[in-house]
Structure 1
């Protein structure tokens, strides 16, 4: 296992993230045993209680199983993890400069699938309350000088729609997806922005504010579907390279 000395954040947080990245990358295979607390503490330059806390957090998440006298056994994180795991799966290089195209694709697919539902519910449940925030957010999308700024404004726009949909479960899902999508902006923002022109957002706003749930669903599909199509070839090239 390749580990580095802890130099930032709280020690337990850093140890937790380093170990989780080892699990996600496959450096610690499913069914294998993590090194002992003593060995991890020495490798990481921290105390054993810090290591113990980090492992306890992994156990609470279900990523490892701590067995008395047998150490911490690695579980399949793709079966135990939630949306909090996606940022760790997204990064395909230690410095974060390269992302995993299969994860990018899955984020775009989920985004395209959930968006129409969100728009439909927002139109049905909160059309009147959304007039001011959607108008302001749409103006920011239209005025955005570049792709990253447009996509940042679009995230604010969708945040208003999610709140209007009035679903706590969807709000939490959106929060998790946003935390994953934001680090991707430097890679995909220009292409996504080109595939999601402001006129499609204007049509979406009109449908939502009219309270037309069916039209809102169709308009949201038109907004989000283009990005999945446009980026498909780009992601194929990344996967083949």
Structure 2
């Protein structure tokens, strides 16, 4: 017997979705007052507690302002909301918003080299002064013995047996997976995993959270972007060069390798969007 998963819908969630779509589409303009809880409950056929919960979520998302005894008003989400609204802004029904897609690509091209630079800088720091967070206590002596090594594998040698070493190993494994894969859609997913590992190495919570939201916006459009992204994600040599620069602890080279990897597809995508 084939079982079908039971989807439990949230009434307040449905109310949230409907109002959020109205705000982000501009149907509810900045400063517009929403109907009262009672009026919304009656119009939507739901309970007032469900409406109240939805409004609280909308306020937490920076889409509306809820004040005791006053009307709930629409905020300018460009100034008050966070990156979590990006996926909603990018895909409008089955269509991609060109302006939003362009801004995501620009952020990607700008942030990628910096993240790669931070990753390589952390490896370089480990070469000269291993930290407790990067090294298991049993491996500190082992890493100290090779900190004078400046070859292309110096970072991996110095971090052998450490958390950093595991992160570097995962980075290179993702490159190997990319080499072995020929499907453009699957290549994009592996490339995303590659950047996940670069972020682990960069150890920046701010960039990690930004990346998570950019990825959430990007993933629904993977299939549509596959034809243009195939040149980038199929360029395993560029990923290998970037991984090598990070492993060697060379921040400037890592940034340059990331730039060389990201710019061609970014330029092509923006050109395509400008013609859309």
The TM-score, its normalising length taken from structure 2, stands at: 0.78
Q: Is the 8 A contact 1:195 1:230 kept in 2?
A: no
**Post-superposition shift, 1:209?**
1.2
Q: Is there any run of 5+ residues in structure 2 with no aligned partner, and where?
A: 1-6, 124-154, 157-164
> Residues of 2 paired with 1:61 and 1:195: CA distance?
34
Q: Is the 8 A contact 2:62 2:82 kept in 1?
A: no
1:82 equivalent in structure 2 = 82
**Post-superposition shift, 1:156?**
0.5
* CA shift digits 1:173-228 (9 cap, x unpaired): 11111111111212112311213411111111111111111111100001111111
1:91 equivalent in structure 2 = 91
Alignment partner of 1:200 out of 229, 235, 238: 238
> Residues of 2 paired with 1:178 and 1:189: CA distance?
15
**Post-superposition shift, 1:120?**
0.9
* CA shift digits 1:101-160 (9 cap, x unpaired): 111111111011000011111112134323310111012222223221111001100000
> Residues of 2 paired with 1:78 and 1:157: CA distance?
30
**Post-superposition shift, 1:8?**
5.5
> Residues of 2 paired with 1:237 and 1:23: CA distance?
27
> Residues of 1 paired with 2:88 and 2:265: CA distance?
23
Does residue 198 of structure 2 align to residue 158 of structure 1?
Answer: no
2:160 equivalent in structure 1 = none
1:220 equivalent in structure 2 = 258
> Residues of 2 paired with 1:103 and 1:8: CA distance?
31
Bigger mean CA deviation after superposition, 175-184 or 192-201:
192-201
Does residue 221 of structure 2 align to residue 191 of structure 1?
Answer: no
Does residue 127 of structure 2 align to residue 124 of structure 1?
Answer: no
> Residues of 2 paired with 1:65 and 1:104: CA distance?
28
2:33 equivalent in structure 1 = 33
In the TM superposition, 1:64-83 aligns within 5 A as: 64-83=64-83
Q: Secondary structure at the match of 1:32?
A: coil
Indicate the structure (1 or 2) with the bigger Cα radius of gyration: 2
* CA shift digits 1:67-122 (9 cap, x unpaired): 444321111111111110101111222xxx11101111111110110000111111
Q: Is the 8 A contact 1:148 1:189 kept in 2?
A: yes
> Residues of 1 paired with 2:22 and 2:245: CA distance?
46
Q: Is there any run of 5+ residues in structure 1 with no aligned partner, and where?
A: 1-6
1:44–1:8 distance in 2 versus 1, CA, 3 Å: farther
> Residues of 2 paired with 1:232 and 1:108: CA distance?
8
Kindly tell me the number of residue pairs found equivalent between the two proteins.
Answer: 229
Q: Is the 8 A contact 1:115 1:220 kept in 2?
A: yes
Q: Secondary structure at the match of 1:113?
A: helix
